[in-house]
Amino acid sequence: MAKKNLHPQWYKTKVYCDGQLVLEVGGTKEKVTVETWSGNHPIFLQASKLEKNETNRIKK
The Cα–Cα gap between 49 and 47 comes to 5
Q: How many separate domains does the chain show?
A: 1
- Quick check: is 3 in a domain? no
51 falls in which pLDDT band (50, 70, 90)?
A: low
pLDDT at site 40: 79
* Domain assignment present for 1: no
Q: Is residue 60 part of a domain?
A: no
The model's pTM: 0.60
Domain-embedded: residue 35? yes
pLDDT (0 to 100) of residue 36? 85
Query: What mean pLDDT is predicted for residues 29-37?
Result: 91
Domain, as residue range, for 24: 11-49
pLDDT of 27 strictly over 90 = yes
Residue 5 lies in a domain: no
Does a structural domain hold residue 2?
no
